[in-house]
Homo-oligomer: A and B are copies of this chain.
Amino acid sequence: MPGALGARAEGLAADLSAVSSLTLNRISIYLRCLRILSERGVRRISSQELAQRFHLSATQIRKDLACFGEFGIRGVGYDVPTLEQRLSELLGLDREHPLVIVGMGNLGCAFARHLEFNRRCFRVVGGVDVDPQTIGKRVGGLVVRPTRDLRRLVRETGAEIALLTVPPEAARQSYDALIEAGVRAILNFSPIRLPQQPGVKLKNVELRSQLEELAFFLRD
């Protein structure tokens, strides 16, 4: 192991800001698999067996984990609860993240109810919309507020993450409002290309593209 400054006993291999998006998404998947194993009472697992059970790649699991440190026991494998715990901490999932939803249409409401029901690390603390018909509606455990209250809502709740689920024509305006309100990470479900803002993490979920890729596969 290189003598990286600040590396602990089960040392951190490299600086965390260099970890790729692909690796992070897979780590999140490994964590889900570990939770399932944990619930089933499995205490130890090798990368090989983890890969076989969940259709993953054993080498890739080990390489991905190597970005964060050393977690296994050579010749044995990984301790399931320990690895689950360590990965949760590394992803910042040991605390709850307050989250606001901008656009309480079909998709926004679905996420509000879904995350309400399945709350793990993320808590929906507010939802806003421009439509007077929608404002005031109860969805899950919250009441929809007007978009002009966004800044106040973010201040009050300390929300750092936002879901952007507005129609295309409102996307740019809502995005600017979110930046202005001071959120630090945005998951954009609208089909609009938004400019990166320094200090604010923007991720796009291109649902339409996913469907269109399937359509491409089906072309005869």
Contact = CB atoms under 8 A, between A and B. Distances in A.
Given A91-B212, A205-B210, A213-B21, A107 B114 contact: yes
Contact of A193 (B16, B25, B56, B106): B56
A110 interface: yes
Q: How many copies does the complex hold?
A: 2
B93 A194 contact: no
A161 B209 contact: no
* Interface range for A: 35 or more
Interface stretch (A2-10, A27-35, A69-77, A141-149): A27-35
Secondary structure dominating the interface of A: helix
Interface stretch (A58-66, A128-136, A195-203): A195-203
Interface in A66-102: 90-93, 97
A89 to B, nearest CB: 9
Nearest to A167: B118
Nearest to A186: B214
A215 B110 contact: no
A117 B114 CA distance: 21
A216 to B, nearest CB: 5
Given A106-B117, A184-B217, 18 more contacts: A25-B206, A25-B210, A28-B213, A32-B191, A55-B193, A91-B215, A91-B219, A92-B215, A92-B218, A105-B114, A107-B114, A110-B110, A161-B211, A184-B218, A186-B214, A187-B211, A201-B217, A203-B213
For the complex of A and B, the 10 pairs showing the least CB-CB separation, nearest first, are A110-B110, A92-B219, A28-B209, A185-B214, A106-B110, A201-B217, A54-B193, A28-B212, A25-B209, A92-B215
